[in-house]
Chains A and B, each alone.
Chain A
Amino acid sequence: MNPNHPKSPFIIHNSSFNLPPSVAPDVIDASCRLPLVVLFLSAAVWLLTASAFGLIASIKFHAPGFLADSAWLTYGRVRPAAVNAMLYGFCLQAGLGVALWMLARLGRTTLAAPWMVIVGALCWNLGVAAGVVGILGGGSTGFENLEMPAYAAALVFLGYLMMAFWGVLTFHQRRERQLYVSQWFLFAALFWFPWIYSTANLVLQGFGARGMAQAVIAWWYSDNLLVVWLALVGLAAIFYFVPKLLNRELHSRYLALMAFWMLILFASWGGIPASAPVPAWMPTLSVVTTVLGVITVIAVFVNVFRTTGGKCLMRMSNPSLKFIGAGLASFVVVGFASAVTALPAVNQVTQFTWFTIGKGLLNFYGFFAMVIFGAIYYIVPQLMGQEFPFPKLVRAHFFTAALGVLLFAVPLAVGGIAQGLKLQHAVIFADIAKGTLPFLRASTVGDLMMALGHVMFLVNLGGLVFQFYRGRALSAWAEATAEIKTAEARP
């Protein structure tokens, strides 16, 4: 189905609904403009910040003494700062922006309370900034992906509620009663995050849990955020933009809904490593559900493949489709890699290695960020009614991003497997660690490429926003000055 013309035989058109007429797209876009500009611009700034921290962390493998004398920039602080800036600063923030826009467009209604969304976005950014500074200052909680200290987490949570509440209200006020699949994904995502985030923070930082129960809860949180939430929003965007930009119908609504059910029922149980020192039923359950994730991946892939008619999205001329195609490819790779490495025999090799890190970053930069770039490159010109000031940079961004992800994920994966195989034998550890260095150093090139792409993204986005508001300001100025003249001239 094309999201613009949803027609499902299973939905009964009930004429007793006295719905107000749907709102024109340009009016919807006007209501979304300022909140989305705030969300996307700050997300782009965080993306660049994350890259800068990531590069610092990466350079430390070339020269361990690099910036080592400053406590704030030691590896163990810069790396979580990079991950948190990427995850909370970019992924969640830009994802929420895209989600709000899709909810408004699919519901054919204006965004509810845009000003409150802006306040929420500011609160969110304040929280993330406090969190990143807190981590650099040594206030990390010690739980991966949840390092932000309690004060920052409270701000982040509040900011999220302020944005998501109006997202839910927009969904509720929709003037198109038929639901498109993306709305299922988005609605579930809106409500998923506050539950997992509040649980994880309250239990781990508030009430306290004993021993390894903390680690299990932290793994549960990471899995629900990095696998479930990112996939819910990313897949919503894929299912929305691919048919829309191709002007075709989505191949199968039911395959898409199956992916939805698989994701919320099974993917939410993943995350406990097969070797974790916890009661055996927990890793076992995680392994089974992670392997089942293959079905989700296949369902999504088949659905998109049939929708495009078998054409490769990355070869399309539309840059948004290129990005989304690369995102989908990464999603498939990450899904299969997760399923295979969940198996205890394989996990024995890949655990504790760079492979896991490479896979996690492929999920961030390869899947989610790519899809979101594609979405933003489509959405922002719609909001502004103008094209990007540097259209060539969009293409250049695609090539640097795709190449960067490749140059960075492949060495980490290969180096990780080599490292894991060596760890199976009682080889002297220092030799194993040395063996990974060439791969790590190669991945720095990928880091650099991606950072370059992020600069292009920020320049283009900032340029368009600047151009738009400059134009507005100029015309307002012209109007204001013109009015005075006519008023004086009249008598």
Chain B
Amino acid sequence: MNYGPLIFLAAFFALAGSWSGFVLTPQLQIGRLQQTNTIGNPTAAYPVARPGLAQQGLDVYRANGCAYCHSQQVGQTGTVLEIALTDAGTNHPPIIAALLKLAAAPADGPTVLTALPQLEAARTNGGSAMLLDGLPKAFLRSSSREGANAAIKALYAAGAKAQLWIVPVGPDLARGWGSRRTVAEDFLFEAPVMPGSQRVGPDLANMGTRQPNVNLHLLHLYAPQLQMKGSTMPPYRFLFERRKIGLEPSPEALVLPAEVAPPAGYEVVPKPPARALAAYLASLRADAPLFNAPLTVPASATPATSTNAATTAASAK
């Protein structure tokens, strides 16, 4: 009996199956993704390719293996609905009363998001104008759509206008690493894709929104322990040049505190890879509201989240 061909066929078909599942199909499905528009802004295409310097920075990120310590994927455990007042009119006491009543509803209904004592205080001493300043502002948080709709109705009845906001939640988001989960669309123009598999350091999916300042990125690359005491991040001094100050100091030289400053007469200047890497880090943002990762971006509260413009602005520095 000759089993050779049988083993060959078995292995062939087994591997062909997994090959078509995880090589061919992703190519057909993810590989055919196109730019989409963001929710609420039908003209903004997402994602947009990185500007040139940041694109070069991706190469520095790859060559130095930054992805072995930093992931670029934020997770979320779910979404909640927040009920925001957009217009409180002039007669505040009934609105405050309605809010308090809603907050006192059973556990599966809406609960008060902002501090309950403040509302109570507003009702008793008439400081309602201050409390209802700065609208739109979210007051209630609900886990069910029905509860949220009922709350909006109740607020309308009290004379206010309210909106429903979709807010992703999860430990990563609470830590300030992003405003929604990362999805395949965020990586559309990345080559190579480096989502990372470890968090020795913090997640970088939204590094650009957290720290848009390129100079601070450069400083962090040169001396990580300055901004974060006890950090295990290695310094990347080979991306910088320490040189004698010529006729006048270079405008690009790092402004270093005394403990890491070079001796007098010397300056530390970032080499092109360092500048590219810093531009790349500042360009990292994955917070556009998408169809499959929805979130509400309150228009007036945080104007910086109109992604495209902000990305270009941050990396053009």
Contacts and interface: CB of A to CB of B under 8 A. Distances in A.
B124 interface: no
A338 interface: no
B235 interface: yes
B65 A77 contact: yes
A76 B239 CA distance: 14
Contacts of B194: 142
A268 B199 contact: no
Interface in A259-290: 261, 264-265, 268-269, 271-273, 275-279, 282, 285
Contact of B62 (A140, A220, A276): A140
A37 B237 CA distance: 43
A272 B22 contact: yes
Given A71-B64, A211-B33, A430-B230, A177 B2 contact: yes
B23 A220 contact: yes
A337 interface: no
B22 A277 contact: no
Given A74-B236, A220-B23, 18 more contacts: A60-B232, A64-B231, A64-B232, A64-B234, A69-B235, A74-B64, A75-B234, A79-B65, A79-B68, A138-B64, A143-B192, A211-B190, A214-B190, A220-B18, A264-B14, A426-B171, A426-B175, A429-B199
B235 A68 contact: yes
Nearest to A207: B27
30 contacts: A65-B234, A70-B238, A74-B64, A76-B65, A77-B64, A142-B194, A144-B197, A184-B3, A187-B4, A188-B11, A192-B11, A212-B30, A213-B29, A217-B23, A217-B26, A220-B18, A220-B23, A268-B14, A272-B22, A277-B182, A277-B187, A277-B195, A282-B26, A348-B75, A354-B198, A423-B199, A426-B171, A426-B174, A433-B200, A433-B231
Contacts of A357: 198
Interface residues of B, number: 73
Given A187-B4, A277-B186, A429-B175, A209 B31 contact: yes
Given A64-B235, A191-B8, A278 B26 contact: yes
B247 interface: no
Interface string B10-29: 11101101110111001101
A141 interface: yes
Nearest to A278: B184
Interface string B122-145: 000000000000000000000000
Contacts of A477: none
Interface SS, A side: helix
B183 A75 contact: no
Interface residues of A, number: 88
A217 B224 CA distance: 34
B63 A140 contact: yes
B230 A434 contact: yes
A11 B2 CA distance: 10
Nearest to B30: A213
A203 B24 CA distance: 10
Interface in B116-171: 171
A171 B8 CA distance: 12
Given A199-B23, A433-B200, A433-B201, A211 B184 contact: yes
Q: Which of A178, A212, A279 has the most CB of B within 10 A?
A: A212
Contact of B26 (A213, A265, A268, A356): A213
A23 interface: no
A188 B7 contact: yes
B30 A278 contact: yes
B245 interface: no
B189 interface: yes
Contacts of A273: 197
A484 interface: no
The 10 A-B pairs with the shortest beta carbon distances in the complex, nearest first, are A76-B65, A426-B174, A138-B63, A142-B192, A268-B18, A264-B14, A188-B11, A220-B22, A142-B62, A352-B199
Contacts of B225: 64
Contacts of A269: 17-18, 21-22
Nearest to B192: A142
Nearest to A232: B11
Given A69-B237, A275-B75, A356-B197, A179 B3 contact: yes
Interface string B213-231: 0000000000011001011
Contact of A61 (B31, B63, B182, B232): B232
A68 to B, nearest CB: 4
Interface of B: 1-4, 7-8, 10-12, 14-15, 17-19, 21-23, 26-27, 29-33, 62-69, 71, 73, 75, 171, 174-175, 181-202, 224-225, 228, 230-239
Nearest to A427: B175
Nearest to A72: B238
Q: Which of A211, A224, A282 has the most CB of B within 10 A?
A: A211
B188 A211 contact: yes
A315 interface: no
Contact of A74 (B32, B65, B67): B65
A414 interface: no
Interface in A146-199: 171-172, 177-179, 183-184, 187-188, 191-192, 195-196, 199
Contact of A352 (B174, B183, B198): B198
B73 to A, nearest CB: 5
A140 B225 CA distance: 27
Given A80-B65, A212-B184, A277-B182, A172 B195 contact: no
Interface string A54-92: 000000110011001111001111011000000000000
Nearest to B238: A71
A424 interface: yes
Nearest to A356: B197
A12 B1 CA distance: 7
A42 interface: no
Contacts of B75: 275, 348
A114 interface: no
Contacts of A264: 10-11, 14-15
A410 interface: no
Interface in A205-231: 208-220, 224
A201 B225 CA distance: 38
Nearest to A8: B1
B193 A211 contact: yes
Given A80-B68, A275-B73, A423-B199, A430 B22 contact: no
B204 to A, nearest CB: 12
Q: Which of A69, A277, A353, A426 has the most CB of B within 10 A?
A: A277
A381 interface: no
A5 interface: no
Nearest to A70: B238
